[in-house]
Structure 1
Amino acid sequence: MPLKDESEVLDEIKNHDIVTEEISDKTSSQKSNFTCQQCGKGFSLKASLKRHMDAHSGKRPYACQQCGKCFNRKGTLEDHMSIHTKEKPYTCPQCGNCFTQQGNFNRHMRVHTGEKPYACKLCEKSFTTKLNLKYHINSHTGETPFTCDQCERSFRYNITLKRHMKIHLRESSFTCHQCEMSFSDSKNLTNHMITHTGEKPHMCLQCGKTCSNNTNLAVHMRVHTGEKPFTCPQCGRSFRFIGNLQTHMRVHTGERPYICPHCGNRFKFIGNFQVHMRIHTGGRPYKCLECDESFTYKRDLKHHLLTHSGKDF
């Protein structure tokens, strides 16, 4: 199964709009004169049926003359062309950000307005985009629609599948002779070899910290520059590292990937999961240096220390 790029995801989102229009057609007071022979949906206009049939056939008649990508709607092709022209005609009046496509502009404006028009029918959560609602619904259904075509593992999110696919990409001719790990290209192998030699040739000129490669140095430099390139599309918060953004997104999607094997409780963040596990394991990592007492939670240790200081509590 080939992985989808951003333009194809946008195409899918717009297909969702078509489906919404189709449902509207079907439920309107107008008579449904045109019926899909494959799924039974009815439409008041022949053109709506024709667009709907493209979703079944996978037909993409509108081709980009510059890169060859194909789309099932002319409007989607026109939006795609702005990638090549670099034109960004949609400007946010509040923060000045510019966008190539009106759909992206509309979604961005919700950061300022706080609008969350897509509500989950299974709980009270609502979302700024249809895509985030779709991901959230998977947390209710347990559906894992993204499947690896090499090992048949399936995942809840497309981005998780993409990360997984790198495991298969490493199965190539670039192999480390010390540990037999394989890599998809020579650059990754070269970077890996440094883990054996311990070499860190790339130095930060501001604090003297050394890094094993340019990528790690560039990431480190954000500590000094304050750069936070990863922005949440729902609330506008920015993060220094993509992993922090991915963790933050669980606040919006409601995903709870950490499951207690003892009682089944689920947690959004690994820290909360680890604290919970102490209930079952009896772990007491916080030790008093004044006596032999130890505690499950840091707050309990702080409370206990007051008994040694003589302060009232």
Structure 2
Amino acid sequence: MTAETCGEAETYTDTDLNHHDQTYNSSETEYSGDDKEDGDVNLDPDLSDPRSEIRDRDSDWNESSSSETNVKAVNKRLSCPECGKQFLHKRSLQKHVRVTKLKLFSCDECGKIFSKTAYLKCHSRVHTGQKPFACEICGKRFSQKTHLNTHKTVHTGQKAFACELCGQKFSHKTSLNTHMVVHTGKKTFACELCGKRFHRNTLLNKHMNVHAGHKPFPCELCGQRYSHKGYLKSHMRVHTGERPFSCALCGQKFSQNTHLNHHMNVHTGQKPFACEVCGKRFGRKTHLNSHVSVHTGQKPFVCELCEKRFRRKSNLDSHMKYLLFCGS
């Protein structure tokens, strides 16, 4: 008797044929479910055709007889028409053909998949540590040519990435992305000890010295100590009067880059800091902190002469000037 469902031209007993039909039908049902699951992938029509070349090429059937039941179990293996690799289930063959047809390449070390061998080759240097691209000026080496090209802007001074909000330019795209949090106010890195938040992980690491009490950088002019060399460098401008940060729109100069960033809100009108109580917005975090005391009633600034308290430091400063004027 011939199995008419799939076109196999083998001879079976009635019992064998019934078993064959059940195996074929259950396989087709499983395959249809896989088609639905992977519906976003367009596979070769031969894979979904019951009369496909895949089954025609793989017409070998392995029969094993049971001594107890004397019934033959039929096991059919599907093979890939491209490489000949065999699979027990159509789902496995389907996924194999998808990878083959899309020409995907997998990293043997971590399993990450790439669409081109060139991408895989570049990625492999992550595991090997190979850095074939060297800077002709300083000799620093890189694993990818794009990283070398980005590095070269350090020597050329080229700044191709500009902030659309304030016009400040950067040599690296990552530097621009980091800068954008100045406008958005987003600070994703939080100190586990005091809860203070930072928009850069490097700033958080520097901040941790505050809790450790480690301040190895003293000012030679006034003796004030700092936890990081960068803080000392910024402090020195108090003594030198240097203001290296200039506004590209109005020319006003600042001693700190953060002061320039705050100033840019004057031109853009952006107020990224919002009060959670009333919704009022501010261009600076310090202004928001001062405003919050309106809701809390807190007055943290105390006059040392009369112990009068103020919500804002500016009010305390005005009060002190008044006392000095009256005393004179």
- Normalised-by-shorter TM-score class: 0.3 to 0.5
Q: Which has the higher contact order (CA 8 A, sep 6+)?
A: 1
Structure of greater Rg: 2
